[in-house]
Structure 1
Amino acid sequence: MNTSQSNESSSGPRKILHKYNTEYTLLGTAHVSKASADEVRQLIQSGEFDAVAIELCPARFASLKDPDALAKLDLFQVIKQGKAGMVAANLALGSFQQRVAEESGIAPGAEMQAAIEEADKYNLPLLVIDRDVGITLKRVYRSVPWWQRAGLIMGLFTSLFSKEKVSAAEIEKLKEGDILEATFSEFAAESAQMYQTLVAERDHYMALRLAQDNGDSQYKKVLVVIGAGHLKGLSENLNGHLPENPTEQLAILNSLPDGNKWLKFVPWLIVALILSGFVIGFSRDTGLGTQMVIDWVLINGGLSALGVLIAGGHPLTILTAFVAAPLTSLNPTIGAGFVAAAAELYFRKPKVADFSTLRQDTANLKGWWKNRVSRTLLVFILATLGSAIGTYVGGFHIYDQLTKIL
């Protein structure tokens, strides 16, 4: 039997739900509010609850528990495993969070930090119930059509670095949602699918995690600390039907939707076109074939090298990108960005201080170029982007040359 009641006092909005043999107190907090942090402390100190659940994923929880976690990054492995873009996105989100803290005087997530500290102080079980931020970002990325993804990425970084001061409107958004929702709010307003991925899925996910972590109702009174924007959705999901074993549904929400399969073949088709162009060019005229190869090297290598130059890469890294990109583009399993980043790490190995100050440095635009860690990530991203553009531009150029001789 489920019952619920709302509490709209001067404190944060609350809903009390009874699910099976557990009473859940859902506290809607403002992520940028000292009052919310104080209220969380007071509720836990009251002794009414035997467990606390928080709207954090394991990665964000670890970051709050260990602010120096970034200093332990193995940058080469991050790039090798294809996580460079994700790390860069998290740093970009962190820079927005840092600027909000500077403008408001309160670090976003202070109420989560308060919940962690008080739960530890009173030896209460702490349930970390949100979906991993990396999976959410990937699902957001997959939720939009492929032709809009570049704009989404550029919009993310542009919005985070377009101005030094955070507007009052942006801080207001954070009072109900979190960093992710505030960042993508404009996109989500225009995309029902993105809203579904960013907000509704997480409401469902958190309800399932509560059901999983308290499946046998071992906790009788649970305080659930969430952003006010999730209060309605989470309460509806908790009031609804929850499976006895939520593992299967959680696995679905943790998976990545299949992309368009035909897109996987596009790079190989372009490689086939380019190589065919070289063969046909040399078969017709050695000079024409040679010119095609030169054009390919200049276009692909030049644009990848330009990306490294913009990223502030070492001169020898720029040269490495110029040489590597025309070759790696003919083998889609190896990226020019990986080769360029490996070269940058070789020529400019990050120091301990770079890792220690990474979060602070990336809070402003100039810091991304100053810090060797973030600069290496920029080298990877911009070298990859330059080579990708060069592949398409060079491919169409060769196609144009072929149409003139065939």
Structure 2
Amino acid sequence: MSDAGEADVPEPPEPPDRERGSVQVLGTAHVSQASVDEVRDTIERERPDVVAVELDEGRYNQMQGGTPDDIEAEDLLSGNTVFQFLAYWMLSYVQSRLGDQFDIEPGADMRAAIEAAEEHGSGVALVDRDIQVTIQRFWSRLSFTEKLKMVGGLALGITDPRTLGLTFGAIGGLLVGFLVAAFIAPLLGVGDVLLLGITDAATLQYAGGAAIGALIGAVGGLLVIPPLESAEEYTGGLLSGFSIRVLGGIALGVVACLGLVATDTFVGPFSTASVESAGIYAVRGSAGMLAGLGVGVTIGAVVGLFLDAAGADVEEIDEIDIEEMTDGDVVAAMMEEFRQFSPSGANALIDERDAYIASHLNDLREQGYDVLAVVGAGHRAGIERHLANPAGIPSRESISGTASSRRFSPLKVLGYLVMVGFLAFFFLLIMAGVRNVFLLKVFAAWFLFNGIFAFTLARLAGARWTSAGVGGAVAWLTSINPLLAPGWFAGYVELKHRPVNVRDIQTLNEIVDDTERPVDEAMAAMFDVPLFRLIMIVALTNVGSMIATFLFPFVVLPWLAPEIGGVDALMGQLIQGAENSLELLRGLL
């Protein structure tokens, strides 16, 4: 991260002439006016040597009007930066909603503590852990399900649960239905059922031509047709410039490919066999998409109704509740609820910070200062427990480092399996004596297939040509390396031209809070925010590479296999390679 226009970091005054000071912990609600008043009254009454606040240097700098932190391009290569900002956004959004509800700025208690300390001649000490370290450790501790819940919480802020359920159900159903029907069902021996009785070669060729044309046209429309800034004005708001580019490209692509089929013009990869094969995939996929749409919408509707009912049971927080947040019983209940959601996340967000803050406060106490610590009510009990037993406080160094991700997470295990499968595939073909020309074709197809998918989805997310190009160029390698992702590289290049900083999170909160805005307008506004666009570029570039990796053995290998006798012959070569490898090992042993 980089800072500009930093405020001077406050320093405690010279230590007083006493052997040991004291610490008083004042628990506040960060969005409560009563807490603001209590902070001011307590400082005026107690006149402590030092007022310690639950802030780090970065948040203090922002509170004093400094420029928000920028994400450095190099930070993306650590792999988790964008996802940490998702967690930061979620936590910020929750606090912002409370602040809006009670008409008070989040963090007003800390600002009041700093101002009151300056008014009464007390020193100020920043005792919290760096927010980026906290968020990184918090995010790395969350399970995959917990991360989905957090992202889902943000999505629920944009639209109602029923719309969200139906939307994701429909999209998921269409995608899963297509993949199952087009690629998995044939492996199970039920692919012919999904052809719906369409077996005529000419009909399949026309279906394949339309499918190929639609796919190429959609991609070409996004890549070639220039942005249409006034599209909504000319279409009465019915179609955006993005929609016209995609639909126009599809129309041109379909007409062109159907024209080629009608005139029996088949050149290179656009052969009779490939177009007919595409038609089979298209018919099967269409049948699967219809079935998947029905199932997905049904499941989505049920999930949406469940979420809506759950939300209806939650009573609106009123002013009395927020003032009672400083009461120990209420705070304990809140902390317990968060621990049930994520015990390991609560450890990073609450317990470790309790110890970190207590360590700072104990140091100030040992230097002879009388300290008033202004902290969130949820931290008070933990801090006081540590202060009562200072010998048991963990060292700040042990809870200040960035926590590494789980070494063998399910996604990483899957990544390692893909890498082993990729290397084993080429090794066995080499051991079987397959010609180098075929191996080069397979590698070139892998490079292009991964690159095209990653590049296209990066452009779909709004990436620059150079950013999308870099993501596409490295996708072939990153798709077989679980420690790398093409989205990191695309985001790295994107950040060189598109600054992103913490202030974007507040902009996103304002968009999510505007419940009167239609979903499509809200999404368009979010894409105008650099942070959100960066997140989508990184995510969709990675998704494109993953889709290409999954489809490669089902789509590309059957297309290349006829060169060595078909899919059965290819499998035979792999078996032969395995046998030759065993013979070689026997000879060596």
Q: With structure 2 as the length reference, what TM-score do the two structures score?
A: 0.52
Counterparts of 2:530 and 2:459 in 1: how far apart (Å)?
14
Q: Which residue of 2 aligns with 1:304?
A: 454
- Pick aligned residue for 1:227 from 350, 368, 376: 376
Q: Which residue of 1 aligns with 2:534?
A: 376
Q: Which residue of 2 aligns with 1:16?
A: none
Q: CA deviation at 1:375?
A: 1.5
Q: Which residue of 2 aligns with 1:109?
A: 107
Q: CA deviation at 1:274?
A: 1.1
- In the alignment, structure 1 residue 208 sits paired with structure 2 residue 359: yes
Q: CA deviation at 1:383?
A: 2.2
Q: CA deviation at 1:176?
A: 5.8
Counterparts of 1:21 and 1:232 in 2: how far apart (Å)?
22
* Count of matched residue pairs: 369
Answer whether contact 2:31 2:95 (CA < 8 A) is retained: no
- Pick aligned residue for 1:361 from 503, 507, 522: 507
Provide closer, same or farther for how the CA distance between residues 316 and 196 of structure 1 changes in structure 2, counting only shifts above 3 A.
Answer: closer
Q: CA deviation at 1:238?
A: 1.4
Provide closer, same or farther for how the CA distance between residues 304 and 213 of structure 1 changes in structure 2, counting only shifts above 3 A.
Answer: farther
Amino acid at match of 1:160: L
Q: CA deviation at 1:225?
A: 1.0
Q: CA deviation at 1:40?
A: 0.9
Q: Which residue of 2 aligns with 1:253?
A: 399
Q: Which residue of 1 aligns with 2:391?
A: 242
Q: Which residue of 2 aligns with 1:153?
A: 147
Please give the secondary structure, in 2, of the residue aligned with 1:242. helix
- In the alignment, structure 1 residue 277 sits paired with structure 2 residue 425: yes
- Pick aligned residue for 1:325 from 472, 475, 487: 475
**Structure 1, 301-310 or 333-342: larger mean CA deviation:** 301-310
Answer whether contact 2:26 2:373 (CA < 8 A) is retained: yes
- Pick aligned residue for 2:123 from 122, 125, 128: 125
Amino acid at match of 1:254: S
Q: Which residue of 2 aligns with 1:6?
A: none
Q: Which residue of 1 aligns with 2:73?
A: 76
- Pick aligned residue for 1:337 from 484, 487, 502: 487
Please give the secondary structure, in 1, of the residue aligned with 2:395. helix
Provide closer, same or farther for how the CA distance between residues 114 and 187 of structure 1 changes in structure 2, counting only shifts above 3 A.
Answer: closer
Answer whether contact 2:74 2:492 (CA < 8 A) is retained: no
Provide closer, same or farther for how the CA distance between residues 315 and 387 of structure 1 changes in structure 2, counting only shifts above 3 A.
Answer: same
Counterparts of 1:397 and 1:137 in 2: how far apart (Å)?
41
- In the alignment, structure 1 residue 44 sits paired with structure 2 residue 38: no
Amino acid at match of 1:383: T
% of aligned pairs identical?
Answer: 25
Counterparts of 1:76 and 1:234 in 2: how far apart (Å)?
36
Please give the secondary structure, in 2, of the residue aligned with 1:237. helix
Answer whether contact 2:335 2:378 (CA < 8 A) is retained: no
RMSD over aligned Cα, in angstroms?
A: 4.3
Amino acid at match of 2:62: S
Counterparts of 2:553 and 2:135 in 1: how far apart (Å)?
31
Amino acid at match of 2:68: A
Q: Which residue of 1 aligns with 2:60?
A: 61
Please give the secondary structure, in 2, of the residue aligned with 1:46. helix
Answer whether contact 2:83 2:139 (CA < 8 A) is retained: no
Q: CA deviation at 1:254?
A: 1.7
Please give the secondary structure, in 2, of the residue aligned with 1:312. coil
Amino acid at match of 1:76: A
Q: CA deviation at 1:37?
A: 0.9
Amino acid at match of 1:211: N
Q: CA deviation at 1:390?
A: 5.2
Q: CA deviation at 1:232?
A: 1.9
Counterparts of 1:184 and 1:318 in 2: how far apart (Å)?
43
Provide closer, same or farther for how the CA distance between residues 393 and 102 of structure 1 changes in structure 2, counting only shifts above 3 A.
Answer: farther
Q: CA deviation at 1:212?
A: 2.1
**Structure 1, 29-38 or 271-280: larger mean CA deviation:** 271-280
Answer whether contact 1:338 1:380 (CA < 8 A) is retained: yes
Q: Show CA shifts across 1:16-43 (max 9, x none).
A: xxxx843322212111111111221222
**Structure 1, 86-95 or 111-120: larger mean CA deviation:** 86-95
Please give the secondary structure, in 2, of the residue aligned with 1:94. helix
Q: CA deviation at 1:117?
A: 1.9
Please give the secondary structure, in 2, of the residue aligned with 1:106. coil
Q: Show CA shifts across 1:293-335 (max 9, x none).
A: 4664466435534652553324564454333311343556654
Provide closer, same or farther for how the CA distance between residues 48 and 319 of structure 1 changes in structure 2, counting only shifts above 3 A.
Answer: closer
Counterparts of 1:152 and 1:390 in 2: how far apart (Å)?
27
